[in-house]
């Protein structure tokens, strides 16, 4: 928790903007534009740190489950494993763009997510 609190303080002090959840928490001063009558909640440093920790752990669990299920599905479906391996081996330099162009990888991950991890991600 100290690391998260330190990151919050550092970002507030330096006015660093990364467009992530930490920025959202720092920018949220209990104000709402959507509904003027909505109850406004101001979070203290401990509450912000706990919320960020919860987001981190929640994402970690979902990704771990997805990787475990994907590994299982690839192990029991050798044709899918072979085709995916061919696509991955066809990439000479792994970059963000090349990863985004791997259509079969996207289909495999999307299928595994829908099949096994839907409830974890909702």
Q: Can you give the pLDDT at residue 77?
A: 96
Q: Is the pTM of this model over 0.95?
A: no
Question: Tens of pLDDT along 20-52?
Answer: 777 777 776 555 556 655 566 777 878 888 888
Question: Tens of pLDDT along 90-118?
Answer: 998 989 999 999 999 999 999 988 887 66
Q: Does residue 75 register a pLDDT over 90?
A: yes
In three-state form (DSSP H/G/I as H, E/B as E, the rest C), the secondary structure along the chain is CHHHHHHHHHHHHHCCCCCCHHHHHHHCCCCCCCCCCCCCCCCCHHHHHHHHHHHHHHHHHHHHHHHHHHHHHHHHCHHHHHHHHHHHHCCCCCCHHHHHCCHHHHHHHHHHHHHHHHHHHC
């Amino acid at each position: 928790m100290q690391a998260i609190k330190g990151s919050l303080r550092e970002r507030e002090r330096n006015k660093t903007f990364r467009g992530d959840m930490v920025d959202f928490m720092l920018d949220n001063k209990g104000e709402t534009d959507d509904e003027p009558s909505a109850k406004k909640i101001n979070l203290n440093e401990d509450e912000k740190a706990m919320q960020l920790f919860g987001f981190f752990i929640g994402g970690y669990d979902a990704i771990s489950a997805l990787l475990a299920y994907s590994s299982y599905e690839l192990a029991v479906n050798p044709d899918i494993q072979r085709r995916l391996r061919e696509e991955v081996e066809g990439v000479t330099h792994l970059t963000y763009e090349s990863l985004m162009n791997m259509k079969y990888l996207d289909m495999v991950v999307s299928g595994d997510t829908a099949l096994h991890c839907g409830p974890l991600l909702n």
